[in-house]
Structure 1
Amino acid sequence: MEFKFEKLIIWQKAMDFGEEIYSIAYKFPKTELFNLSSQIRRAVDSIALNISEGSIGQSNPDFKRFMNYAIRSLGEVVTCLHKAKRREYISVEEFDTQYEFAFNLMNMMVAFKNKIR
Structure 2
Amino acid sequence: MYKNLEIWKESVDLIKRIYKIAASLPKEEDYNIKSQLRRAVISVALNIAEGKCRHSAKDFAHFLNLSVSSLNEVNAILNICEELEFLKNIDEIYNKINILSRRISALRTKLLKLK
**Interval of TM-score (by shorter of Structure 1 and Structure 2):** over 0.9
Contact 2:22 2:34 in 1 (8 A): yes
Q: Which amino acid aligns with 1:11?
A: W
Q: 2:95 aligns with which of 90, 95, 100?
A: 100
Secondary structure of 2:42's partner?
helix
Look up the match of 2:75: 78
Paired residues in the alignment total: 112
Deviation at 1:30, TM superposition (A): 1.1
Q: Structure 2: which 5+ runs fail to align?
A: none
Task: Report the aligned-residue RMSD.
Answer: 0.9
Q: Give the alignment's TM-score, normalised by structure 1.
A: 0.92
2:105 matched residue in structure 1:
110
Distance in 1 (CA, whole Å) between partners of 2:20 and 2:99 is 20
Distance, in Å, in 1 between the alignment partners of 2:93 and 2:68 is: 16
Instruction: Write the deviation string for residues 62-88 of structure 1: whole angstroms up to 9, x where unpaired.
Output: 111111110100000000010111111
State how far apart, in whole Å, the 1-side matches of 2:54 and 2:35 are: 30
Q: Percent identity?
A: 37
TM-score, structure 2 normalization = 0.93
